[in-house]
Chains A and B, each alone.
Chain A
Amino acid sequence: MGIINTSRIKSPWIMHFDNSSCNGCDIEVLACLTPLYDVERFGIVNMGNPKHADVLVVTGPVNRRTARVLKNLYAQVPDPKMVIAVGTCACSGGVFHNCYNILGGVDKVIPVDVYVPGCAAKPEAIIDGVVLALQKLSKALGVAK
């Protein structure tokens, strides 16, 4: 089991889902994949498929329409999985929190492991968030560090 747990830390594949974000955070998430930040050096790959993903990166506040999509996507990610809420809107609803169509942050619908605040969240902060999620996972699995 040791090698599988080590591999889980070394190879988090992310799937990025945009609820009703203004696209500010989405651009910053994709900026992590550029040569400047290059998250693939940590084994992080951006997957378009929830069935291959380990980490669900969610941006934007949840509205009534995207809530069921988000639940569906969360159910399709195989265990063990993690959820990272990127941006102020995804954390709490942000400036949209009182809107008639907004339910609030991502944690209103699915359990969230790591919150990355910021409007928009910087790529450094997003990478930090993924590292924090991995530390949380390694603690849960009982792997050293």
Chain B
Amino acid sequence: MNQWWIAVIAIIVAPVIGGLLAGIDRKITARLQGRYGPPIIQPFYDFFKLLGKSRIATSRMQFVWIYGYLVFMITCVVFLVLKLDLLLLIFLLGFAGISFVLGGFSSKSPYSHFGANRELMQILAYEPVLLLMALGVYAQNGSFMISEIVKPGAAPLLPTLWPIFIAVLLVLTIKLRKSPFDLSTSHHGHQELVKGIMTEYSGPYYALITLTEWYEIVLVLGLVALFWANPLWLGIIIALAAFILELLIDNIAARMTVGWMVKFTWAVGLVLCVLNIAYLYLIKGVS
């Protein structure tokens, strides 16, 4: 019964936190560019305005996929707050990403197809890193359960898993759609691909994507916070510091190409992860 309440509260509170973080993002970005910036609650205005717009459909199937994206993402957040299996959470996150890609492919717009292709490449770039993060946690704790990471008395992961932490920061840049990795779609007024994978969504369905992104922000920052889960407030501070770092990188970096992104995340991220896991097993001995 208690678990149910935690899940319900997380489902209600997570988008509020995500929306506020998105508002802080826009404000800080504006300040870094020498502008005044919109109010912190601007994302909520955008969200409710989009809910009130008329529905224009280009393909029925894309709405099925967009609900899939939302539901899988909510499930991931529930997995995180109920401290369930980390490996399963990462597979569910993969399902969510694939739903979004299929939504992009289900309309005939070439911009949407371009965006969906690039989103697939992004998944190709970050998914192995996340998988190896789970393996690193297993190498350290001997369990994939998040409850083992956050249980009182458990040693924090960051001192031993810091190379994986750096790799996860790369994933954070991709997941938050920040430069240099904002390839499939972007939050800024860039217009190279119209709006990439989101081109064909309008009105309430675009609002659903916004909502899913808020859950996503909370989820990936929660994964970052797991690196210092005891005490958790230190982990949350680390996650917020990582978020501010992403905003800085977003504003000082230009957009790179898709091929460069995959090469870079694999060359840096995967190598760091594999070396980290190999080192852990070298110390402990393979059992």
Contact segment of A6-14, A88-96, A122-130: A6-14
Contact segment of B38-46, B67-75, B151-159, B254-262: B38-46
- Bound complex: CA of A47 vs CA of B191, how far in Å? 8
B window 172-201: CB within 8 A of A: 189-191, 194-195, 198-201
B285 at the interface (CB under 8 A from A): no
What residues on B are CB-neighbors of A48 within 8 Å? 189-191, 194-195
Q: Is A41 touching B194 in the complex (CB atoms < 8 A)?
A: no
Tally of contacts, chain A with chain B, CB under 8 A: 87
What residues on A are CB-neighbors of B45 within 8 Å? 6-7, 10-11, 43
Partner of B206, one of A8, A33, A52: A52
Query: Residue of A at shortest CB range from B187?
Result: A45
**What is A's interface to B at a CB cutoff of 8 Å?**
1, 3-8, 10-11, 13, 33, 35, 38, 40-43, 45-49, 51-52, 54, 76, 78-80
Q: Is B202 touching A11 in the complex (CB atoms < 8 A)?
A: no
Q: Is A41 touching B35 in the complex (CB atoms < 8 A)?
A: yes
Q: Known interface pairs A7-B45, A54-B49. Does A41 touch B189 (Cβ–Cβ under 8 Å)?
A: no
Q: Is B189 touching A78 in the complex (CB atoms < 8 A)?
A: no
- Bound complex: CA of A54 vs CA of B49, how far in Å? 10
Partner of A46, one of B42, B53, B189: B189
What residues on B are CB-neighbors of A54 within 8 Å? 49, 53
Chain B 25-46 interface mask (CB, 8 Å, partner A; 1/0): 0100010011111110010111
Q: Is A51 touching B51 in the complex (CB atoms < 8 A)?
A: no
- Bound complex: CA of A8 vs CA of B53, how far in Å? 9
Chain B 45-76 interface mask (CB, 8 Å, partner A; 1/0): 11111011111100000000000000000000
What residues on B are CB-neighbors of A40 within 8 Å? 26, 30, 35, 37-38
What residues on A are CB-neighbors of B36 within 8 Å? 38, 41
Partner of B189, one of A5, A35, A42, A47: A47
- Bound complex: CA of A46 vs CA of B189, how far in Å? 6
Q: Count residues of B near A (Cβ-Cβ below 8 Å).
A: 34
Q: Is A52 touching B42 in the complex (CB atoms < 8 A)?
A: no
Q: Is B206 touching A7 in the complex (CB atoms < 8 A)?
A: no
- Bound complex: CA of A38 vs CA of B201, how far in Å? 27
Q: Is B38 touching A51 in the complex (CB atoms < 8 A)?
A: no
Q: Known interface pairs A38-B36, A48-B194. Does A78 touch B48 (Cβ–Cβ under 8 Å)?
A: no
Q: Tell me the smallest distance from the CB of A134 to a CB of chain B, in Å.
A: 12
Q: Tell me the smallest distance from the CB of B95 to a CB of chain A, in Å.
A: 26
B203 at the interface (CB under 8 A from A): yes
Most buried by B among A6, A8, A33, A40: A40
Q: Enumerate the 7 nearest inter-chain pairs by beta-carbon distance, A residue then B residue, closest first.
A: A48-B191, A4-B52, A51-B202, A7-B48, A10-B45, A7-B49, A38-B35
Partner of B201, one of A4, A45, A51, A76: A51
Chain B 119-144 interface mask (CB, 8 Å, partner A; 1/0): 00000000000000000000000000
Interface pairs (14), CB distance under 8 Å: A11-B42, A11-B49, A35-B33, A35-B35, A40-B26, A40-B35, A40-B37, A41-B30, A41-B36, A43-B42, A43-B46, A48-B195, A52-B202, A80-B53
